[in-house]
Amino acid sequence: MIFAALAVPTPEVVWWGLIPVIVLSGSALLMLTAASLPWRMPAWLASTWTVAAGIAVVVAVFPMWARIQNDGPLAFLGSAVAVDGSTLFVTATLAVAVVATALLGRAYLEREDLPGVEFYVLLLLSAAGGVVMVSANDLIVLFLGLEVLSIAVYVLAAMHLRRVESQEAAIKYFVLGAFSSAFLLYGIALVYGATGSTSLVRINAHLASTVLVQDAMLLTGFALVLVGFGFKVAAVPFHAWTPDVYQGAPTPVVAWMAAGVKAAAFTALLRTFVLSFGAYSGDWRPAVAVMAGVTVVGGATVAVVQTDVKRMLAYSSIAHGGFILTGVQAADDRGTSAVLVYLGVYTLLAVGSFAVLSAMGGVGDTGHRLDDYRGLARRQPLLAAAFTVLLLGQAGIPFTGGFVAKLGVIAAAVNVGSYAVAAAAMLGAAIAAFVYLRLLVAMYLDDDQAADTHPVVVPVGARMVIGLAAAGVLFVGLVPGPLVDLSRDAIPVLVGG
Amino acid sequence: MTVTTTWYLVLAAVLFSTGSVGLLVRRNPLVMVMCVELMLNAVNLTFVSVGTHLGDLGGQLAVFFVLVVAAAEVVVGLALIVAIMRRRPGATADDLSLLGG
């Protein structure tokens, strides 16, 4: 009886809503424990374990999706966490990226003769952080998810112990990542000061019902949060770290950075700005619109002059970020669903393209000059064909998924009257097409003049990733209906109190 | 003269700016990590003073989360610095220039 008096009211927990986080972080911790026992965990076990965890999350998302669509989205844990369509959509995307990265990582670690278990553990933890981020209903929870995601990736970038470039990439990523986290957090603190809450729902209610006389603190908070997100999603002018980090980090890790980290960060950006700060969209939309235009054109233009293919794709990923921002700045349901389509398609494009780069890198991860790609179509016709599909997808050629994605965000921008941004996006797409064309010309038309070219070995894991990604890009391009419908059902909503 | 919440917020803003300028101008990786810490602690000060001003516990609670995250971040940052220093003793941020187009 005495205990009954001491009972502390605890927040309600809907356990099934946490399944993805529990599976990802649980399997990471289990693997870490198993690896610390006095035996040598075989590499195949760690990679199979990670792939299984990723697939388990994708499988678990289906019944959760059905339940959310029937009963509506739900918030729990004192409204700090919410599960809605966008959460599940991006969770599945992240899980696919985990599976692909684990398959690439297995071959990479073997080729570079690196010890392996930590790679998979960090990957799973990073994905768990991403899932927390996309289910956050409170800015502090969002920040925690972002940090769990980022800190794991800082270590992953330094994974190649014998390459100074890898460590240089990691320290650059770390310093700028920590810098941007501080900006984001300061922004959160100022928004908290202006609205009296860190809950996305309560901030939204406060902004909708109150007219602030002094809104300097709030607007400064918005600006700092936007800068923080700008660094994370590599939007111009906060993109400077991206090419260096992509060039130096192990290629499978780059695939995860481009696919996973971006998907999580953009979804968090959508939830924060479009949903929670929606009442003030007149104040932040112009800033995001300028960022979107500059990012598309800037990223595509600088990509043209690169001679290192990894840097080229780094700048092209910046341009893709600009396209996604074009959808974000529309700040309506149409823009949001276009962003989700783009994130899904870009995940396929990124993991597929960086899988090709990972195989082309060869021992030491060095074969990334444009010269290494000359005459590839003669040496490796299948690899060149798959890479062609992926590059055409990135360029947004019709009948590929990239076209559907780009059309969606540009149409959303036109729909809300942002003609300048839409025009900038189209200009950027045209410039970017030249980048991909340059690679295609090198592969198909140029002579195989590099005499010292090492033979390209495409491991089984990379073959699966490249093949499935290329097939997925073609499928979405030819039959866009299912993905577009899914994204309409996945539009995020605010729930809870 | 009473010290109002505004004073604390201004102090926090000054500390945050000091940290961010320091990060941009200093070249010693260790000092750069210290600057990040300064920025995060300026945020903590903001959270606490705003929380006290509003009479809301949430602001003070946030500080604990930030402290833990900052600790985890420093652990990773120092480990990276040690890994680099072992290969290239005395390296500054300017020496880390292998990557580029």
Strand pairing partners for A369? A308
Chain A contact present for B89, CB below 8 A: no
3-state SS assignment for residue A77: coil
Cβ count near B42 (within 10 Å): 25
What is the token pair recorded at A407?
A: 């059309």
Which residue is associated with the tokens 């080229």? Answer: A312
The answer to whether A94 touches A263, Cβ cutoff 8 Å, is yes
> What would the pLDDT profile of B32-44 be if each residue is shown by its tens digit?
999 999 999 999 9
Cut 0.90: pTM above it: yes
- CB-nearest to A244 from B16, B23, B99 is B99
Domain hosting residue B48, numbered range: 7-90
* Gap between the Cα atoms of A58 and A49, Å rounded: 14
B99 in a structural domain: no
A399 CA: distance to closest CA in chain B (Å): 33
What is the token pair recorded at A184?
A: 């984001």
Exposed, middle or buried by CB within 10 Å (0-12, 13-18, 19+), for A4? exposed
Chain B contact present for A118, CB below 8 A: no
Q: What local confidence, expressed as pLDDT, does residue A5 receive?
A: 65
3-state SS assignment for residue A74: strand
Angle subtended at Cα A388 by Cα A340 and Cα A314, rounded to the nearest 5 degrees = 55
The ipTM assigned to this model is: 0.94
pLDDT over 90 (residue B71): yes
Backbone angles phi, psi at A438, to 5 degrees: -60, -40
B68 in a structural domain: yes
Chain A contact present for B16, CB below 8 A: yes
Which residue is associated with the tokens 């309600």? Answer: A12
Chain A contact present for B63, CB below 8 A: no
**CATH code of B81's domain:** 1.10.287.3510
B1 CA: distance to closest CA in chain A (Å): 24
The answer to whether A142 touches B73, Cβ cutoff 8 Å, is no
Residue scoring higher pLDDT (A164 or B100): A164
Strand bridging mode A74-76 / A81-83:
antiparallel
Radius of gyration of chain B (CA): 17
Chain A contact present for B54, CB below 8 A: yes
Percent of chain B with pLDDT strictly greater than 90: 64
Cβ count near A460 (within 10 Å): 10
The answer to whether A158 touches B83, Cβ cutoff 8 Å, is yes
Which residue is associated with the tokens 């995001």? Answer: A288
* Gap between the Cα atoms of A275 and A198, Å rounded: 14
Contacts of A151 in chain B (CB under 8 A): 72-73, 76
* Gap between the Cα atoms of A137 and A200, Å rounded: 6
Helix A262-269 vs helix A117-134: crossing angle, to nearest 10: 10
Cβ count near A240 (within 10 Å): 13
Alpha-carbon torsion (B37, B38, B42, B45), positive or negative = positive
Domain count, chain B: 1
Walking along chain A (497 residues) 10 residues at a time, the average pLDDT comes out as: 68 91 96 91 91 97 94 90 94 96 93 88 97 95 96 93 87 93 96 93 91 84 95 92 93 94 95 92 93 95 92 95 95 94 96 94 84 86 94 93 95 94 95 93 78 73 94 95 92 86
Beta-carbon separation of A306 and B101 below 8 A: yes
pLDDT over 60 (residue B29): yes
- CB-nearest to A193 from B46, B73, B96 is B46
Alpha-carbon torsion (A267, A269, A272, A273), positive or negative = negative
- If you write DSSP's letter for every residue of B33-57 in order, what string do you get? HHHHHHHHHHHHHHHHHHHHHHT-H
Chain B contact present for A220, CB below 8 A: no
* Gap between the Cα atoms of A124 and A269, Å rounded: 22
B3 CA: distance to closest CA in chain A (Å): 18
Which residue is associated with the tokens 């003269």? Answer: B1
- If you write DSSP's letter for every residue of A241-257 in order, what string do you get? HHHHHHHHS-HHHHHHI
- CB-nearest to B56 from A189, A196, A307 is A196
B98 in a structural domain: no
Strand pairing partners for A27? none
Exposed, middle or buried by CB within 10 Å (0-12, 13-18, 19+), for A58? middle
Domain-by-domain residue ranges, chain A? 10-276, 282-489
B22 in a structural domain: yes
Q: What local confidence, expressed as pLDDT, does residue B101 receive?
A: 58
Helix A333-361 vs helix A401-415: crossing angle, to nearest 10: 150
- If you write DSSP's letter for every residue of A334-383 in order, what string do you get? HHHHHHHHHHHHHHHHHHHHHHHHHHHHTTTT---BGGGGTTHHHH-HHH
